[in-house]
Amino acid sequence: MRIAFADAAPSATLTLRRVVFGIWALILLSDPAVGLADLPSIVFEPAVPWAWLPSIAFDAGRTESALLVIRLIGGGGALLAALGWRFRVTATIAVLGATMHRASISSLAFVNHAPMALLLASWCLLLCAWADERAKRDGMAGENSAPWTPFLVLAVILYSYSATAIYRISHGDLGLLSGDSIAYWSTRNHALDLWESALPIAVGDHVASQPLLLALLRVGFPWITLMELLAPMALFSGRFRVAFAATMIPFHVLSVVVLSVFFWGNSILLGILLIWIPLRERRSA
């Protein structure tokens, strides 16, 4: 058994900060979501943290000008955090902006768990940074603190995978893995006119009419779900980390083709955490 990042150097945390907040800067500065301002309030169900605030706050927060402010301030904070400028302050601004932005979109009752891992990772990096600062003030900072940040980031990302699998099974029972649900979701996602469905490689609307492809998906979907359920094992097993990366990264790429959904942020995070950082640490050892 080998615990993930047991010998990680501080550079691993710096790499994660640049990647995670760089991704958020790209998302926030390029995803205006201004269309939410044109929809009637009846179609919304405020998500947390909007749900904790008075309804008037949510109505004001989903106006076009408010969404623009959240984007620019959050995205600017994320960009500065990725560059390492006053990280704790800029990361705080970025995480709050990202949280409110995602909550506004989730309030439309459209379940999209793609940003969950990225959002959890950004919160983890932020809280670890503030914890390190507190430890320094209390005179408790030491060299052994370096591995904990990437370990915790990996833990929350793996949790997001397990939570997704548990939700999938608990709401659809095991029949979800053996029936034609994969054909339904591929056709349904393609019909939503997502940006991925416009790609030439997207074949979601043809899955139901291709028996061989459908048979392969019926075999692969239970395997993916099993790997998601067992995801926390990657924290303590080097071999499982390799198997998890070899399964989930190709799955995210194939999701573009079959499900018209690309978890590009997850793919980058898994590549950094399970491939790039371990290889770099091994070379420097």
Three-state SS letters, the chain: CCCCCCCCCHHHHHHHHHHHHHHHHHHHHHCCCHHHHHCCHHHCCCCCCHHHCCHHHHHHHCCHHHHHHHHHHHHHHHHHHHCCCCHHHHHHHHHHHHHHHHHHHHCCCCCCCCCHHHHHHHHHHHHHHHHHHHHHHCCCCCHHHCCHHHHHHHHHHHHHHHHHHHHHHHHHCCHHHHCCHHHHHHHHHHHCCCHHHHCCCCCHHHHHHCHHHHHHHHHHHHHHHHHHHCHHHHHCCHHHHHHHHHHHHHHHHHHHHHCCCCCHHHHHHHHHHHHHHHHHHHHHC
- Which of the listed ranges 85-89, 142-146, 190-194, 213-217 does the model predict with the highest average pLDDT? 85-89
Flag whether 247 is in a domain.
Answer: yes
Q: What is the average pLDDT across 241-255? A: 91
Flag whether 1 is in a domain.
Answer: no
**Residue 192: pLDDT over 80:** no
Range of the domain at 191: 10-284
d(CA 159, CA 116): 10
Number of domains in the chain: 1
In this predicted structure, what is the pLDDT of residue 95?
96
Flag whether 175 is in a domain.
Answer: yes
Flag whether 127 is in a domain.
Answer: yes
d(CA 73, CA 79): 10
Q: What is this structure's pTM?
A: 0.84
Flag whether 235 is in a domain.
Answer: yes
Tell me the pLDDT tens digit for each residue of 195-243. 444 455 555 556 656 667 677 777 778 888 899 999 999 999 989 999 9
Tell me the pLDDT tens digit for each residue of 15-45. 999 999 999 999 999 876 656 666 666 667 7
Residue of 46 and 176 predicted with greater confidence = 46
**Residue 162: pLDDT over 90:** yes
Q: What share of the chain has pLDDT > 70, as a percent?
A: 74
d(CA 4, CA 279): 13
d(CA 75, CA 27): 8
CB 9 within 8 A of CB 147: no
d(CA 183, CA 162): 23
Q: What is the mean pLDDT of the chain?
A: 80
d(CA 62, CA 257): 33
CB 255 within 8 A of CB 261: yes
Tell me the pLDDT tens digit for each residue of 62-93. 777 888 888 899 999 999 999 999 999 999 99
**Residue 193: pLDDT over 60:** no
Flag whether 3 is in a domain.
Answer: no
Q: What is the average pLDDT across 239-257? A: 89
In this predicted structure, what is the pLDDT of residue 59?
72
Flag whether 249 is in a domain.
Answer: yes
Flag whether 5 is in a domain.
Answer: no
In this predicted structure, what is the pLDDT of residue 136?
77
Per-residue confidence at 143, pLDDT binned at 50, 70, 90?
Answer: very low
Q: Which residue, 156, 152, 125, is CA-closest to 21?
A: 125
d(CA 210, CA 206): 7
Q: What share of the chain has pLDDT > 90, as a percent?
A: 35
Residue of 14 and 33 predicted with greater confidence = 14
Q: What is the average pLDDT across 242-266? A: 86
Range in 72-76, 172-176, 202-206, 269-273 with the lowest mean pLDDT: 202-206
Tell me the pLDDT tens digit for each residue of 51-65. 787 877 777 777 778
